[in-house]
Structures are given as structure tokens and as C-alpha cells.
Structure 1
Amino acid sequence: MDDAEYIRLLTSQAEQANAFLSNARKWERERWVCQRLLQGLNIAYRSEEFMPAGQEPPDVLFRDARLEVFFVLDEGRRLNDEWREELQRRRSAFSLSQLVRRQARPKRIQAAQLLQRLGPTLRKKAANYQERGLDLSELDIIAFASLKRETLNLNSHFPPPTEYLRHGWRSLTLVGPTFVRVLYAHPDAPDFLRANLGRSIIFDVGVSL
């Protein structure tokens, strides 16, 4: 494969990423995160088991789980803008050398630091849903950590997510490109979450956005 063919391949991949991040494919992204969770927990599933809710929240229905998904990104980072820029870079490149970027090595952070990043979104969701009279104890939260400048030290201590438990969510799970961690699961939470409570499960292959 010569440079031109490889650039065309990279451009096609960027086009697919942009399409995947469009508003029209929001539910597909959320389902993808749920599938990553199940893969990490080694739970077999069929595509037809995933259903959109009639009215959000939740985002995705899977068996007895009512899954509400959100993304955790580096501060100031926007996936849509990032991939639009990358698509233009690849479309305008004439050689692979033009696409080379030097990036700093990701900083290793502690689990407690990553859990703090969930706060703004979870507080906002909790306040919004409570104002709407929704029952938070019926929602299973999945936070997908898609970080470029930082990486989680999986050997660090995961403190209890005390603040978030006060909101009343049924369960709270952290999913990353290479790991799954069920942070909290109420006795009424789905069995596959309760069975893996407190375990850090490592993926063989990392996948992110």
C-alpha cells in the first residue's frame, strides 16, 4: 500500500468517525458504549436486545437495565470539533509525513481524580431529572472515559463514590478504552452489574474515540 492509498484509508476512517459522532447516530454511540461494558464483563448479548427508550432518560434499554450514558473528556476537548479538524487534515494531505503529530505522553492519574471528573455531569443530570420528577433509582449510569491527555492508573485506590450515591442512582459504572469498573450497584440493580461490583476488569484491546 503506497502513501496515497494509506491516506485514502485514513480519510475514510475519519469520515466514518464524523458520521458516528453526528446527532443522527447518538443512540448508536450510546449503544456502542453499552456493548463495550458487556464485552468487558464477558456478558453475551444479541443486537436485538438493545432498544431505545420511548422517552429519555434512559438512553438504552437492555434486558432489565435502564442505561444512561455520558462521555468524560479532557477539559476543553470536543469530539465533534476534533474529528472535523482531523478529517480536513487528512483530506488535504499529500504525504503521510504531513499527518505526523507529536503528542505528549498521557499523564497517569489516580482513580479518585477520575471519579471527580464525573461530578459536573452527574450533578447536572441529577438536578435536571429531579426537577422533571424522574426517579433516579431506576437509572443505571455508565460514564465512558475517553481521555487523550491522561490515563488511569488502574492500580490506584477507587474511593467510594459517596457524593454520587446520595443522588439515588440505581448503579454507576465507569468504562474506559481498556477497562470496566462497577463503582456502585443497588440491590435492585441488574444482576450482571451487581455480580461485578468493585472489580476492575481489563480489556484485551482498547477502543476509544
Structure 2
Amino acid sequence: MDDSDYLRLLTSQAEQANAFLSNARKWERERWVCERLLQGLNITYRDDEFTPAGQEPPDVLFREASFEVFFVLDEGRRLNDEWREELQRRRSAFSLSQLVRREARPKRIRAPELLQRLAPTLRKKAHNYRERGLDLGELDIIAFASLKRETLDLNSHFPPPTEFLRQGWRSLSLVGPTFARVLFAHPDAPDFLRNNLGRSIVFDVGISL
């Protein structure tokens, strides 16, 4: 593969990323996060086991799980804008050298810091859902950490997720490009979540957006 072929490949990948981030493929994105968690937990599944809920929340139904998905991003970062700009950059390039740019090495953060990134969204969801009369104890939350400027120190200790437990969710799982972890799961949560409670799984291949 020469440089021009590789440049076309990079452009095609950026086009696919933009399509994947479109509103039309929101549910497909959410299902992908669920699949990533299941892969980490070594749970086999079929595509037809995933269905959209009639009314959100939840986002994705899988067996006895009712998954509600959200993305954790760096402050001020918007995936849609980021990939639109990247697509334009790749389309405008005449050589691979034009695409080279220096990125700062991600800062390594400990598990308590990463959990703090979840807090604002979960507080907002808990408040809004209670106002709508929804039972948080029927929802299995998955947070996908798509951080560009920070990366989790996988050797750091996860503290008890006390605040999130008090909010009343049935379970809470955290997925990143290279790891997955079930942070808590109540007794009535799906077995495949309870059986993997508190265990950090590291992926062989990191995948992010």
C-alpha cells in the first residue's frame, strides 16, 4: 500500500466515524458500547438479542438488562465536531506528512479521578428521571470513558461508588478503550453483571472514538 492508498483509507475511516456519530445511528452507538462491555465480561451474544426500548430510558434492552448508556468526554470536547474537522483535514491532505501533528501524551489518572468524571452526568440523569417518575432501580448504567487527554492508571484502586449507589441505579458499569469494570450491581441486577462485580477486565485491543 503506497501513501496515496493509505491516505484514502484514512479518509474512508474518518467518513465512517462521522456516519457512526450521526443522530441516525445513535442506537447503534449505544449498542456498540453494550457489546464492548459484554466482550470484556466474556459474555457471548447474538445481534438479535439487542432491541431498542419503546421509550427511553433505557437505551438498549439485552436479555434481562435495561442498559442506559452515556459517554464521558474531556471537558469542552465534542466528538461530532472533532471528527468533522478531522474528515475535512484528511480530505484536504495531499500527503501523509500533512496529517502528522504532535499530540500531548495523555495524563495518567487514578480511578477516583475517573469516577469524578461520571458524577455530573449521573446526578443530572438521576434528578431528571425522578422528576419524570421513573424508577432508577430498573436501569443498568454503562459509562463509556472516551478521554483523549487522560488515561486510567489500571493499577489504581477503585473506591466504593457511594454517591452512585445512593442515587438508586440497579447497576453501574464503566467501559474504556482498554478496560471494563462493573462498579456495582444490586441483587436483582442481571447475573452476568453481578458475577463480574468489582473485577477489572483489560482488553487485548483498545478501541475508542
Within 1, Cα distance between the matches of 2:61 and 2:159?
29
Equivalent residue, structure 1, for 2:182:
182
Instruction: Provide the rounded CA distance (Å) in 2 between the counterparts of 1:49 and 1:194.
Output: 19
| Structure 1 segment 11-50 matched on structure 2, within 5 A | 11-50=11-50
Structure 1 residue 2 displacement after superposition? 1.8
C-alpha distance after superposition, 1:89-148 (max 9, x if no partner) = 000000000000101111100000000000110001000000000000000000000111
Mark the runs of 5 or more structure 2 residues left unpaired by the alignment. Answer: none
Q: For residue 100 of structure 1, what is the aligned residue in structure 2? A: 100
The answer as to 2:132 corresponding to 1:132 is yes
Partner of 2:156: 156
Specify the alignment match of 1:75 in structure 2: 75
Q: What's the counterpart of residue 61 of structure 1? A: 61
- Which SS does the other structure have where 1:188 is aligned? coil
Where has structure 1 moved over 4 Å in runs of 4 or more? none
Work out the CA distance in 1 between the residues paired with 2:77 and 2:9. Answer: 25
What's the CA shift for 1:4?
1.4
Please, what is the CA RMSD of the aligned residues? 0.5
- Determine the C-alpha separation between the residues in 1 that align with 2:46 and 2:129: 30
Supply the AA of the counterpart residue of 1:117.
R
Q: Give distance in 2, aligned partners of 1:186 and 1:29.
A: 26
Alignment correspondent of 1:169? 169
Question: TM-score under structure 2 normalisation?
Answer: 0.99
Which residue identity does 2:91 align to in structure 1? R
Q: Secondary structure at the match of 2:68?
A: strand
**2:163 aligned partner, one-letter code:** E
TM-score after normalising by structure 1: 0.99
Letter in structure 2 aligned against 1:110: R
1: CA distance, partners of 2:101 / 2:48 = 40
- Residue 81 of structure 1 and its aligned partner are, at CA, apart by 0.4
Q: What SS class does the counterpart of residue 98 from structure 2 fall into? A: helix
Question: Can you list the C-alpha shifts for 1:148-175, whole angstroms capped at 9, x where unaligned?
Answer: 1110001111001101111100000000
Report the residue type matching 2:152 in the other structure: L
Instruction: Provide the secondary structure at the position in 2 that maps to 1:184.
Output: strand
Alpha-carbon displacement from aligned partner over 1:45-72 (angstroms, at most 9, x marks no partner):
0000000000000000000000000000
Give the total of aligned pairs.
209
Distance 1:205 1:195 in 2: 23
The 3-state SS of whatever aligns with 1:189 is coil
Separation of aligned partners in 2, 1:32 and 1:171: 18
Paired with 2:91 and 2:163, the residues of 1 have a C-alpha distance of 46
Tell me the alpha carbon deviations over residues 173-197 of structure 1, each in whole angstroms, 9 at most, x when there is no partner. 0001111111010000000000000
Distance in 1 (CA, whole Å) between partners of 2:91 and 2:126 is: 42
User: Residue type matched to 2:46 in 1?
Assistant: R
Rounded to whole Å, the distance in 1 between the matches of 2:65 and 2:46 is 15
Give, in whole Å, the separation in 2 of the partners of 1:134 and 1:106: 38
